[in-house]
Structure 1
Amino acid sequence: MSGTVIRVLIADDHPIVRDGFRGVFAAEEGFEVLGEAANGAEAVAMAKALRPDVVLMDLRMPVMGGVEAIGELARAGSPARVLVLTTFDTDQDVRPAIEAGATGYLLKDTGREDLVKAVRAAARGEAVLSPAVAARLMSQVRAPREALSEREVEVLRLIADGASNREAARRLFISEATVKTHLLHLYAKLGVNDRAAAVAAGFRKGLLGIEED
């Protein structure tokens, strides 16, 4: 963060929504709204130029959507934490945003106080999820005998090679919070509780080069 002031960039295609968010943070000490973007492409350009601490990112915007913008920022090595703020909480919206590198995912009916707390937490690098989104992710994690996704296998292979969460995030161009989410998913799918057991299970199941008996 930039000193004690959290620098915020607002990305939403609705002017009235941007005005509302600006008003929230203008009334709070310790925040500075650097600017507003009306689409994902503008958000990426402004984030690169202004280097905010947190980007409030809508998902469905013209020119470039939020998920694509999050991915662009991750590939560019932007230090900004992206907090998705949207009305959509379906699997098709939540998971791609988190996998692209979003630090958090909130719905637009989030209360003012909770929103401010969430932005502070995101600025510290903490994962932030609305209760509805957290419940959806947990239901996915608990799905029995579900096959690992391609990205989960990539994370498992990096962990088997001794990579830390930070190193895995750097090599996959995603956030550490996303790596942790992938780890939770693959732990549940493999029926294990830690990294060592996950690697052992990965070898047994042939995911890491040795076929299962």
Structure 2
Amino acid sequence: MKILIVDDDELVCQSLQLLLDKEEDLEVTNLATNGQEAIECCLKEQPDVILMDIQMPLMGGIESTRKIKEQWPSVQIMMLTTFQDEKNIRLALKAGAEGYLIKSASIESMADQIKALKAGSTILDADVLKTIMEPDKKALEGLTARESDIAELVAQGLSNKEIAQQLFLSVGTVRNMLSVILDKLEIRDRTQLAIYYWQREQE
């Protein structure tokens, strides 16, 4: 299995290459220091799996992942990074990455997960999975008490008219406050708001 390692830390690249090359059926065929170099490597010889860092000069890992998956959808990409925040995880998966590991993972575990990735599995570090399944409530805490009430009623499936009746507000006021809530949370519509609300209430 041909592997491309993409990381702007030369020591990380060399260490991973040394360790992974000892694993049966794994061969590191190229190293790149940024996302642009990763694309150039794919043009020369498509790897089976790419281990991709996120924050790099010239072009980061998420943008590179998106461009590589557009051109070579069969290439499997595993994000290998120190970043464990929800935003980067979701952006990486949206860009097309099939896996997301934290750099502290053991090399034995990493080798097994690379093989599983190539076999078609989606690989998420346990802490990464927890971050996605148990997102931070801080965004909802940024709403006023009345805005939180409206968000909860939207999540329960009530219409603007029903919310207005329950909270003794006009329909226009509910509509305006809902727009403010969507702007604050950077969410597109009431369906996404309901999903967002219940995700954060499941902790």
Q: Same fold (TM over 0.5)?
A: yes
In the alignment, the residues of structure 1 paired with residue 9 and residue 26 of structure 2 have an alpha-carbon distance, to the nearest angstrom, of 22
What are the ranges of 5 or more consecutive residues in structure 1 without an aligned counterpart? 1-5, 154-184, 190-213
Residue of structure 2 equivalent to 1:157? none
What is the percent sequence identity of the aligned residues? 31
Q: How does 1:27-176 map to 2 (within 5 A)?
A: 27-140=22-135, 145=155
Question: Structure 1 residue 10 and structure 2 residue 12: aligned?
Answer: no
1:34: how far off? 1.1
1:31: how far off? 1.1
In the alignment, the residues of structure 2 paired with residue 75 and residue 112 of structure 1 have an alpha-carbon distance, to the nearest angstrom, of 29
CA contact (8 A) 1:57 1:84 kept: yes
CA contact (8 A) 2:35 2:63 kept: yes
130-139 or 75-84, which deviates more: 75-84
Larger Rg belongs to? 2
In the alignment, the residues of structure 1 paired with residue 66 and residue 88 of structure 2 have an alpha-carbon distance, to the nearest angstrom, of 14
In the alignment, the residues of structure 2 paired with residue 95 and residue 114 of structure 1 have an alpha-carbon distance, to the nearest angstrom, of 23
In the alignment, the residues of structure 2 paired with residue 122 and residue 99 of structure 1 have an alpha-carbon distance, to the nearest angstrom, of 17
58-67 or 121-130, which deviates more: 121-130
Q: C-alpha deviations, 1:166-194, integer Å up to 9, x for none?
A: xxxxxxxxxxxxxxxxxxx79x77xxxxx
What are the ranges of 5 or more consecutive residues in structure 2 without an aligned counterpart? 141-151, 157-181
Q: Which of 3, 19, 26 is 1:24 aligned to? A: 19
Letter in 1 for 2:96: G
SS at 1:52 equivalent: coil
74-83 or 111-120, which deviates more: 74-83
In the alignment, the residues of structure 2 paired with residue 48 and residue 121 of structure 1 have an alpha-carbon distance, to the nearest angstrom, of 25
Letter in 1 for 2:17: R
In the alignment, the residues of structure 2 paired with residue 93 and residue 78 of structure 1 have an alpha-carbon distance, to the nearest angstrom, of 21
Does the C-alpha gap of structure 1 residues 94 and 107 become closer, same or farther in structure 2, counting only changes over 3 Å?
same
Letter in 2 for 1:65: G
Paired residues in the alignment total: 151
| Moved beyond 4 Å, runs of 4+ | none
1:124: how far off? 1.1
SS at 1:83 equivalent: strand
1:114: how far off? 0.7
In the alignment, the residues of structure 2 paired with residue 13 and residue 120 of structure 1 have an alpha-carbon distance, to the nearest angstrom, of 24
Q: C-alpha deviations, 1:95-120, integer Å up to 9, x for none?
A: 10011000000000001111001110
CA contact (8 A) 1:48 1:78 kept: no
In the alignment, the residues of structure 1 paired with residue 114 and residue 70 of structure 2 have an alpha-carbon distance, to the nearest angstrom, of 22
